[in-house]
Structure formats: C-alpha cells, structure tokens
Structure 1
C-alpha cells in the first residue's frame, strides 16, 4: 500500500533505471571466489572510475604505466611526453642523416683531389720546409723503433746470460761443499760469478730504463706530432679541393654570366675561405709541435744515452775490478794452500814431457841454463 501511495503522489522519487542499477553478486559467491559483478553505468562514470584506479604519473602527462604482467612489448606514449619524444627522435635522425651527408661529400672531394693530383689534373699546395721536417720525423721514428727492437734483443740475451751465470754460481757453491779437496777453487769461482751477475743486473736495469724512455718518445711524443701531420694533410686536401672547385666555377662564371653561376661562386668562395683559415691554423700548430718535439727529443735522448753509456762502462769496469780483486785473493790463497806443495799429478807430468819433446834444441839448452842458474 505504501508503494501505491507513493506512486499516486506524483512520482516524487523516480524509479531506478538501467544506467544506475548495480547488481551486486554477493549472494552468488561460489567456493570462496566472487562471481563477476554486472554494472550498468554511464560511459562518463566508467572513465572517471578508470582514471581514479590508475596511479598518477611523474610527469603529470597522460602516459600509462608499464604493464606488470608477463607480456612484453613496446609501450606507446601518448600526450605531451609522446610528442616530445617523437620530436627528439626526428631531430636525432635528421642530425645523423646530415652528418652522413657531410662526411660523404667531404671524403668524395678528398678522393677526387687525390686522384686529380696523381694524374696531374690538379695542383697541390706545397710547404717544402714543413713537409721535409715531417718526413725527417717519420724516418726518426722508424730508426727509434729499430733501436728499441735491437736493445730489447740485447736485453733478452743479457737476461738469459745473467740467469745462466747465477745458476752457475749456485752450482759452484754446491760443488764446493760436496768436494772438500776442491773447496777453495769452487768457492772462488762461485764468488766470481755472483759478483759478475750482480754487476750485470745493474746494467740490465739501465737497459730497461733506456728502452722504456725511447719507446715513450717514439710512441707518444713523435706519434702525437705525426697525428697532427695527418690532420694537416687531410685539411690540405680539402682546402685544395675547394680551391679547385672555386677555380672551375670562376671559369664557368666568366663565360656564362648568370645569377646562378655567380651564386655558386659566392658559396664556393665562402667554403674556400673557411677551409683556408683551418689550413693556416693547422699549419701553424704543426710547426709549433715540430719545434717542441725537436727540443724535447734532443734533451731526453742526450740524457738517456749518457745513462746507458755509464751503465755499460760501470758494468765492464766494475767487472774488471772485481776480477782483479778475486784473482789476487785467489793467488794468495793458493800460496797458502797445502795442495800446492803436493807432487804434480801424472797428467801434469805428461803435459810437461810433451811440451819438452816439442821444444827445439836451442830452447831446451836455454831452459837448462836458466834452471842451472
């Protein structure tokens, strides 16, 4: 009755429509899971609900978040952020294309200039003094590399010699213990080899130091200057290529006096002036580097050549002094050794008899007179 009264009162409350009805399926639960909910709502309300469910992005744009499921693939960004990314990618592609185009034009001009110079169809800008100095530096680098290689071979053989000498000294020392009757002789030989090997290690250190510094001069200082020389040659080729194009365009413009020919001459003149400035600047830089290289190279090589010579002199003079001291001490020990008073061995007697038989009669008579006196 209440419902009928409400309907008769003019319908103050409208009946719910399909757009506002939400059928909850709470009564349709099955095995602990919820059945899907059927909702009949307006499209505007669904969009608002979806916007509320999505977390806000950092940039404030309309970019959706990355999916968290197992599906992978490109994420397409929409809105202002996507527009900026598209512009950035387009700019990067255009810059890459422009750089490739410039590189192709530059190398095409340089290749054409090289071929024209080889076949005599074009002239080249020549700086005789600078080119002669660069050629001398290249030759110096080759000689320094050969010097380093030869010194490395000598160092290798010297190191092998010192290792053998050290092993020999150890073996002499071992035999001096195992052979008491030759203890003095083996001991002095062991001491001699040890001292010679000790002096040789100093020479080996001097050789390693010399090799390292010459290699630094050749591979760092000279190579840096030659790199500048290569850049100078490339700029020179490009300068001559634009000069050749400018001369050809000027000849065409003198015959065909048109606006297009004049504009081409003007554009080539600007390019030629720009490369002329680069050429002059790089030529000055190369000249300065060559001067500094000569000064530093002479100082470094003088210093290390003197050190290497001192190392060799110290090795041989020190070895000579060591040998003299050891031999003098060895002679003194032999005078005091009891084995020197023993009769000669049969090998010594045999060698003396053979020497006497081989001597002429005059020398035998002279030796007898000396023995009698």
Structure 2
C-alpha cells in the first residue's frame, strides 16, 4: 500500500521568491549548453585563418593536403588534440552536469519534504520493516559493546587469577606450615585460570560473529535501503515536475507526455526497490537467526563448561583438615 503524507519538521518558512529562485537555477543549468562555441572567438579564428593562409608559402599549403596526418586535428596553442579524446572529455562533462542537476533537484525535494511543502510517497509496510530493522541494529550494537566490555573485564580477572595463584605458591615456599593450604589455593586458581583461557576463546568467537553481523551483513541491507530512499526521492521529484508542467500555461502536450513517461519509469524503479528491500530484510532475518542461534548455543556451552570445571576443581581441593587452632580452645 502506497500513500502520501505531509510532514512538518522545521517551523521556519521558505518564501515563494526563494523557491522560484531555486527553480530558476535548475532551469538555467538544464538550458545552458556549455559546449556551444563562443561567437566572438569563432569570428576571430576565421579572420586569423584567412590571414595566415594568404601569407603561407606554397610548401606549407601542400602540407595541408588530405594526406597530412594533422590536417583534421583541432589545435589549442601548439598542441594537437585527438577528436576521440575530446569526445571523451565532453561525455564526462555531460555526465557530471547531469549528476549535478539531479543532485540539486533531489536536495531541493528533500528540503521541501522536511518543511512540509510537498507530498512524500510512503510505503507503509516497507517503512515499518525498515524502522524495525534500524531499532534492531541499535540493540545488536548495544549487545556487541557489552560483550566487548565483558571480554575486557574477564581478561583482567583471568590475569588476576594467575597472579594470585603465583602469589600463593611463593608464600607456600616460605611458610612451611601453610604449604598445603597455599598449594591447594594455587592449584585451584591455576586451573580456574586455564579454564578461563578456553572461555576467552569462545567470547572472542562470539564477538567476531557479532561484528560481522552488525558491520557487514546488516550494513549490506542498509546500503539497499539507502538506494531505495534515493529512488523514492527521484520518483517524487518526477511527480512534482509533472504537476508543475500541468499547472503551467506554457506546457506542451509533448512535454507533458515526456514527463508522464519519466514518472512511470521512476515508479517502476521505486516499486522494484521496494521488492529488493523486502527480500533483503527477509534474507537478513533468516541468516541472522541461524547465525545467532549457533553462536549463542556455543557461548552457553562454553560458559557451562567453564563453571562446571571450576566447581569440580574447587571440590577436589577442599581441605579436609579439622584441626583447631590453639586460639579456638
């Protein structure tokens, strides 16, 4: 379902004169032929050519025969420019001109939409899916940031376990009466640290999967969404131009038919992009759920193994000594 709506975002007003100036700029850019030769330069060139040709010796005139390789080459100063190269430059300049005009029109349309001056085409279902995906992307980024924070803290904790285990071992070498207790604590913390290293690897795998999902897989879909937004904007520009032609007294039937054909062309592109966006979002959902289920299951198994191994280690090294200190008598 496609509908249009007015959306007012900014409270300030744009005068009619300013809008007419923008329209005049567009028409001036479109109407100007940047490749038309300058008449004054052409006349001066013709006079110089006639004067120079009358003063040239006969040997120079023979060089201007059709067999001369430089006969048909346009000259700028002392340089000979190939016609093919000149055509390539002109084509590139035409492309830049077309891109500039289209960008100017799209920017103007975008501003007018924010001001609520023109109608904006909206596909409700597609826009709803896009907004839902944007919100989901924010939450996945939050989860990724939290996972990175957890990894950093866990790495520090695991290093502290190793250092503490080494500290108990050093005390046990000096305090012979505490050797057994220190060795138990040393073994417990050492084993916990080793288990933590295995769990760290699973955390890194989970973070790598999240980064791929957020920064590559989902970003590819957002690129398609951006193309969809640009196509929608171009479609609305074509519709506005058609409406302006119909309201104009100077419009001809040929120009109106051309504008209508342009609207149909952009409408087909817009509807095609709607299908592309929906397909991309559907495929992204399927891939996202599959990847997240696998990595979350692996994360859960790794955490369970880490906790279980630590519990077994603690139970195996629990002190069974029941002797009391002389202070407890």
What TM-score bracket applies, with the shorter chain setting the length? 0.7 to 0.9
Task: Name which one, 1 or 2, has greater alpha-carbon Rg.
Answer: 1
Q: 1:265 Cα shift?
A: 1.0
Q: Distance in 2 between matches of 1:109 and 1:136?
A: 29
- Name the structure 1 match of 2:44: none
Tell me the alpha carbon deviations over residues 137-177 of structure 1, each in whole angstroms, 9 at most, x when there is no partner.
11111111111111111110100010111111122223323
- Pick which of 219-228 and 298-307 moved more: 298-307
1:320 to 285, 290, 311: 311
Structure-2 residue corresponding to 1:69: none
Higher relative contact order (CA 8 A, sep 6+): 2
- What CA distance in whole angstroms lies between the structure 2 residues aligned with 1:201 and 1:179? 30
Offset of 1:118 from its aligned partner?
2.3
User: What stretches of structure 1 of length at least 5 have no aligned partner?
Assistant: 1-43, 45-60, 64-77, 353-373
Give runs of aligned pairs for residues 78-89 of structure 1, distance below 5 A: 86-89=82-85
CA distance in 1, matches of 2:87, 2:183: 84
> Which residue matches 2:240?
244
- Compared with structure 1, are the counterparts of its residues 247 and 176 closer, same or farther at alpha carbon in structure 2 (3 Å cutoff)? same
Runs of 4+ in 1 over 4 A off after TM superposition: 78-85
1:310 aligns to what SS in structure 2? helix
CA shift for structure 1 position 307: 1.8
Distance 1:62 1:319 in 2: 92
Using a 3 Å threshold, how does the CA distance of structure 1 residues 344 and 225 change in structure 2: closer, same or farther?
Answer: closer
**1:62 shift after superposition:** 9.2
Bigger CA drift: 164-173 or 114-123? Answer: 114-123
Partner of 2:271: 280
Q: TM-score, length-normalised on structure 1?
A: 0.64
In 2, Cα distance between equivalents of 1:136 and 1:166? 45
Determine the C-alpha separation between the residues in 1 that align with 2:273 and 2:286. 20
Aligned match of 2:166: 170
Structure 1 distance, partners of 2:310, 2:164, is 17
- Name 1:124's counterpart in structure 2: 120
Which residues of structure 2 form unaligned runs of 5+? Answer: 1-58, 60-66
Partner of 2:28: none
- Give distance in 1, aligned partners of 2:91 and 2:141: 43
Number of paired residues? Answer: 260
Which residue of 2 is the match for residue 41 of structure 1?
Answer: none
Answering whether residue 292 of structure 2 is matched by residue 296 of structure 1, we say: no
Change (3 A) 1:170 1:79: farther
Partner of 2:16: none
Alpha-carbon distance between aligned partners in 2 of 1:90 and 1:194, rounded to the nearest angstrom: 76
Counterpart CA distance in 2 for 1:154 and 1:287 is 35
